[in-house]
Structure 1
């Protein structure tokens, strides 16, 4: 019975507290929201325009879900939700929020005194546009942060996460809800890169404060490893002889030959935005380096279609204990784009670099 109470409201049809309209609209996204008329609902949600409006159908006697724009409201950009003296014509936007996919109206600011571009107006309203020009789709910052946490904690894929948002919008006719899956993948890619730039200090000019580190790097550095001139002094005369090893920087390599990737059709435009500044090297530079590595005749015949310049290696080793070269052309690596990864790390297991392997341990 307590759950059924939310399917109706005893105040429906009575005079609203504003004395100008009848009570007809409820909000389940707000905590203990008192049903009001449409105008009061808009007034109470100027700072939260993505709450669903549950509007009572007086003919069918039940609540129907509507976006706030169906009540006559237009989300105004550039004035913190307030009115604009020279607003542009409203545009129909598809905005993805944590409670679903909204088809709502948005008006850009047209004030001549301070007229930022449309991208800045959207971003300052915590809306991430899907495209740089002529965008009609945007994602709220909250939904991007929420997906990032779900993806890291529970390994939830973007397809499943967006599918849940579609069902939150309409759990009966989900196929009729606009599905911005392709835009979502692209926006998440850019969002993660910008977040990485911010957290690594590149947006704050951290390279000027840490000149001993590679310029523009996006690594998470080990705070315990000694960095001469930064957190340690290797020439300190007070360091006891038996503790001098603490000033030593140690590096190790570790390979994972089970981390494989099979050949598959991928989007050629889905490229890394880091450009070799993070853990993996730049693709073209790494490919050119691999072309100079000797390989066996069997491997050479397999990779000539993708690598033009391949250096042929001498005959395989006959040593029973040297199995690295002899395993390069095993059948288990057939149809694989990557046959493993190798990580360079410090003694505190902070990853410093990664590379993919092709055809065994190459």
Structure 2
């Protein structure tokens, strides 16, 4: 307890800074050396390339938050951290652009000095080269560090953390006692996360470097990951053997399984009209418009097979019970159905469809056809 209490103060407060300026050392950095106090100018110089560190000032016998931007820090992009030589007195925005940057330790207001050379890349590109993902491509005023996006993606996979709760946590990191409204930041953050995940899928697929051209034509339009162990014709498997006794047909056989998840529902609520899919039909789900045309063509399955219109008479067989009205009231999608390789549990490209009112053969057939086609 004594050591924890010691963190709230400093034995060096009131002393002069170790520099030659003859001023009191009142600033500490929580990321660098929490026990070391500096004057404002020394803190500014030591953090010229560390704008996302949290600093505090000793004031009225306690430490208070003192962002680096309050000391006049400007973070220059390009030119190895030096001010762009193309900057001139009287230029527009002589003090740079203030951008809200989200990092793993909270939100930061950072004064950015962009490169103004004639051949300088866009502001969004300059931010990306400094490992900051811009909130928009045109005149970005928000950015998210790559470390933040990687951390959130890992937490999402391991603990199902959602974007809203993570944004609230960042607000608490920024100000534990008076967290501000995060509505605007949350909306932008969830959009950035979607684009980030889409870009990561495309990077892993090798699409940008031309790797898809080396795959069989049936897989060239997909960014989904193929199972590396299952046989893929013209990729890791040659033509099948003649089926004679003792042949290796079992090694060339693709075993598939199919299952539904009725927890992945979509409620019937107001949706954003500007929302759209980033790669329709290019990964695991079938393309939506073609799927709806197929459902309209086959009609209601009740008309195809009258047995599904009646509730199941078997007390132990509950799969057909989901067709009963009321179980999925006010839902647009009652679940999803996916096809995967039975041996290694890799989801098949174009092998997943939305369900309406439970499992139906029409949906299963369409998912299986897409999985077999790749």
Q: TM-score range by the shorter chain?
A: 0.7 to 0.9
Partner of 1:351: 347
Flag the 1:344–1:267 CA change in 2: closer, same or farther, 3 A.
same
Deviation track 1:254-308 (CA, whole Å, cap 9, x = no partner) reads 23345433312222323221211111122222222221122168xxxxxxxxxxx
2:226 to 221, 226, 238: 221
Partner of 2:11: 10
Show the counterpart of 2:327.
Answer: 332
Deviations 1:94-117 (A, max 9, x none): 1111111112211211122x3111
Runs of at least 5 residues in structure 1 that lack an aligned partner in the other structure: 298-312
Does the residue aligned with 1:277 lie in a helix, a strand or coil?
coil
Any conservation in 1 of the 2:114–2:123 contact (CA below 8 Å)?
yes
Go from structure 1 to structure 2 and tell me whether the alpha carbon gap of 1:259 and 1:61 turns closer, same or farther (over 3 Å shift): closer
Q: 1:256 aligns with which of 258, 261, 266?
A: 261
Q: 2:264, 2:334 within 8 Å by CA — same for their partners in 1?
A: yes
Distance 1:267 1:80, change over 3 A: farther
Answering whether residue 295 of structure 2 is matched by residue 270 of structure 1, we say: no
Indicate the RMSD between aligned Cα atoms, in angstroms: 2.9
Partners of 2:120 and 2:58 in 1: CA distance: 40
Instruction: Classify the secondary structure of the residue corresponding to 2:81.
Output: coil
Q: Deviations over 1:330-349 (max 9, x none)?
A: 33233221123211112222
Question: Between Structure 1 and Structure 2, how many residues are aligned?
Answer: 344
Which residue in 1 is equivalent to 2:295? 290
Decide whether the 8 Å contact of 1:96 with 1:138 is kept in 2. Answer: yes
Counterpart for residue 372 of structure 2 = none
Partner residue in 2 for 1:27? 29
Distance 1:175 1:325 in 2: 49
C-alpha deviation, 1:219, in angstroms? 1.4
Asked if 1:36 corresponds to 2:32, the answer is no
Q: Which protein has the bigger helix share?
A: 2
- 1:101 paired with 2:107, answer yes
Question: Residue deviations 1:199-251, cap 9 Å, x none?
Answer: 121122111222344223121211111123332334579x9725322112233
- Give me the whole-angstrom Cα distance separating, in 1, the residues matched to 2:288 and 2:184: 32
- Does structure 1 conserve the Cα–Cα contact (< 8 Å) formed by 2:171 and 2:179? yes
Task: Check 1:159–1:327 CA distance in 2 against 1; reply closer, same or farther (3 A cut).
Answer: closer
Other-structure match for 1:183: 188
Pick from 45, 50, 55 the counterpart of residue 57 of structure 2. 55
Q: What is the aligned partner in structure 1 of residue 157 from structure 2?
A: 152
**Distance change in 2, residues 1:176/1:40 (3 Å):** farther
Give 5+ residue unaligned stretches, structure 2.
88-92, 314-318, 361-374
Q: Give, in whole Å, the separation in 1 of the partners of 2:36 and 2:53.
A: 14
Are 1:136 and 2:144 counterparts? no
Report the CA distance shift for 1:10/1:320 in structure 2 as closer, same or farther (over 3 A): closer
Distance 1:293 1:182 in 2: 39
Task: Give the CA deviation at 1:322.
Answer: 8.3
Q: Which moved more, 1:163-172 or 1:282-291?
A: 282-291
The answer on whether the counterparts of 2:123 and 2:140 sit within 8 Å (CA) in structure 1 is: no
CA distance 1:326–1:291, change in 2 (3 Å): farther
Taking structure 1 as reference, are residues 4 and 294 closer, same or farther at Cα in structure 2, changes over 3 Å only? same
